[in-house]
Amino acid sequence: MVYWNSAEVGWAVFGGFLISLSTTLNLRYYGKVTGLSGYFNTVVKGDTSQEFQRKFSFLAGLIFLPVLMRFIFGYYIIYSNNYVQYLFDPEVLSVALVDNWGFTIGGFLVGFGTKMANGCTSGHGVCGLPRLSFRSITATVVFLLTAVIIATFRSYNPFFYNGAAWSQGFLNALYWVGLVLFIIDQLAVVALAVTKPNFRTALTEVFQSYFFGNLFGLGLVLSGMCRQSKVIGFLIWRSTWDPTLLFVLLSAVLFNAIGFRLVLSRGAPVNNDNFDLPDATANPDWRLVGGAVIFGLGWGITGLCPGPALISLFALSHVFMFLIMVAFGQVFFEQTHKFYVSRKNQNHTIQDKLLDQ
């Protein structure tokens, strides 16, 4: 029997709409795809050559409203009609679903896979499917199927389950550290704008991107995407399958199919001369497929991808291990890929010299 909760489905559709609104506005004003794994990679490396200011502002906006809700309401909201809306899983449920090894290995797989495939659920799913990108369609199908297979396999053959919760004193300390980091992160957004010589332009870019991030983050938390139990319940194929998160994806993709079409019918984005989008007709390759498989494994194990994980960092203590490993996985792929390309070029150079003799 399929699990069904009409209120949760309604929130999923509304959350998907907010995610769609965020990505459509980002396309309208900057002509870019909203890829959260790429944004995360740029910010972690401090790469100023890759629109650091805009991406940092977006991610700061992404976490603002959900984290504010976490500090005000806790893990759930109780409405006047006694309806309970869960925003995050409690700590004890999170560590029961995924232990420390699961967070560590799953985080590495998510980081390595998203970098290898050039995208995750946001870039390929939310933004690629509405454009009918062949590569994004392939990547989304592959990582979804992989995640379903590994999550379902874990449910029947348990591994990386039943982790140990940390002491309450340690959790309290992490809470205050998280609060301080959250405040610093938000103040850094203002600093990004006021320290630039072209103050007005920088301020506009910072706060536009921050607002777009607000919409995306609110969509994630209201839709249930920040609940590992909800994501894993969607990925596990069983008699009590929970289809709620399917409505998040369908809502975001369908609204974006309309919004992107309207935006792209205009000559250029508001703040750039041209749209800068991946070629929707490009064919998939083995790097894309392999990266999607690896990402799907990590997502299926943990129920986390970069966007929801950034938000959950301020609600679930073990997620910081996941994010550290996501960053490590991305950098590890970059370095191994550079080494591979360098060796390949050296071999070609040697072969060319031998042919010239």
* Reported pTM: 0.94
Q: Give the pLDDT confidence score for residue 341 in this predicted structure.
A: 87
- Using CA atoms, how far residue 351 sits from 341, 355, 356, 357, in Å, is 15, 6, 9, 10
Nearest to 20, CA basis, from 278, 224, 208, 260: 260
The one-letter code for the residue type at 122 is: S
In the chain, the DSSP E strands lie at: 76-78, 84-86
- Using CA atoms, how far residue 253 sits from 128, 175, 205, 310, 315, in Å, is 9, 35, 25, 22, 28
Per-residue pLDDT of the chain (357 residues; tens, 9 = 90+): 789 999 999 999 999 999 999 999 999 999 999 999 999 999 999 988 889 999 999 999 999 999 999 989 999 999 999 999 999 999 899 999 999 999 999 999 999 999 999 999 999 999 999 999 999 999 999 999 999 999 999 999 999 998 887 778 877 887 888 888 889 989 998 888 777 777 777 888 999 999 999 999 999 999 999 999 999 999 999 878 999 999 999 999 999 999 999 999 988 999 998 999 999 999 999 999 999 999 999 999 999 999 999 999 988 888 999 999 999 999 999 999 999 888 877 766 655 555 555
Q: Give the pLDDT confidence score for residue 240 in this predicted structure.
A: 86
The one-letter code for the residue type at 33 is: V
| 251 contacts 21 by C-beta, under 8 angstroms | no
